[in-house]
């Protein structure tokens, strides 16, 4: 293992709850029901693909202008919640693991679909751990396409088989596996069944065990 590539939402920070609130409010305004199960399907998907999901669910045909307006509305609400985040809102052991990896010379990249990734990394004060940041502003294909992780590996000068990807979404695990990465799922094994290993959270992960995996 030469490098670790982390998804952001749901792995390092618990922002899924904020995405949920903001999408649910937009969906409700559009007359579409939006459950926790729906939110699970959106994990790892781009903002565009997420809106598509809601519009499809409600059989809504939208103009480009409406789409832009709804995405902006959702994002403004999401940002208002994210801007209230503080340094303590990283998930358990996230900071400690990043620190441990850094001190053992493991390269670290972010591989996130979010266009708000840098802002969030700043908010919770972990941006300095990353040697490369690949986010939704740098990718053109949504997970499960492996693009985001392949760009991450390239930015770190590593081959996919030298990198471990951490993901909380099945789409993200699929992206990692199809790109040739070792995939660690963070969440439930029933959901992330395609991952090489699944842990409930980063709290059960440390450098020594990662070293033994690869």
List residues with catalytic annotation: 7, 9
Where in 155-174 is the site for Mg ion (CB under 5 A)?
168-169
Selected from 27, 45, 91, 106, the binder of ligand G6P by CB under 6 A is: 45
CA atoms 9, 94, 185, 153: torsion sign: positive
Binding letters toward ligand G6P, positions 68-97, x by CB under 6 A: -------x----------------------
Where in 116-175 is the site for ligand G6P (CB under 6 A)?
116, 136, 169
- For position 135 contacting Mg ion by CB under 5 A, the verdict is no
Contact criterion met (CB below 8 Å) for 38 and 196: no
SS3 at position 38: helix
- For position 10 contacting Mg ion by CB under 5 A, the verdict is yes
Quote the crossing angle between the two packed helices 16-29 and 64-82, to the nearest 10°.
Answer: 140
Contact partner, 90, from Mg ion, ligand G6P, none, Cβ < 5-8 Å per class = none
**Helix H or strand E encompassing 81:** helix 64-82
Nearest partner of 169 among 50, 61, 70, judged by Cα: 50
Our CB check for ligand G6P shows the closer of 46 and 90 to be 46
Binding letters toward Mg ion, positions 60-79, x by CB under 5 A: --------------------
């Amino acid at each position: 293992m030469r490098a670790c590539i982390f998804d952001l939402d749901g792995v390092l920070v618990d922002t899924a709850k904020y995405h949920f609130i903001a999408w649910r409010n937009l969906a409700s305004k559009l007359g579409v029901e939006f459950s926790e199960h729906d939110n699970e399907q959106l994990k790892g998907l781009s903002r565009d693909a997420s809106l598509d999901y809601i519009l499809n669910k409600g059989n809504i045909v939208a103009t480009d202008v409406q789409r832009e307006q709804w995405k902006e509305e959702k994002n403004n609400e999401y940002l208002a919640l994210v801007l209230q985040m503080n340094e303590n809102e990283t998930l358990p052991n996230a900071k400690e693991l990043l620190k441990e990896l850094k001190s053992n010379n493991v390269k670290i990249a972010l591989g996130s679909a979010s266009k708000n990734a840098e802002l969030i990394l700043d908010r919770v004060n972990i941006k300095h751990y990353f040697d490369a940041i690949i986010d939704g502003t740098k990718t053109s294909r949504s997970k499960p396409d492996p693009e985001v992780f392949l760009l991450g590996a390239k930015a770190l000068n590593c081959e996919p088989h030298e990198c471990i990807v951490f993901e909380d979404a099945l789409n993200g695990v699929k992206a990692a596996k199809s790109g040739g990465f070792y995939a660690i799922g963070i969440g439930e094994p029933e959901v992330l069944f395609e991952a090489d290993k699944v842990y409930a959270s980063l709290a059960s992960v440390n450098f020594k065990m990662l070293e033994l995996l690869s």
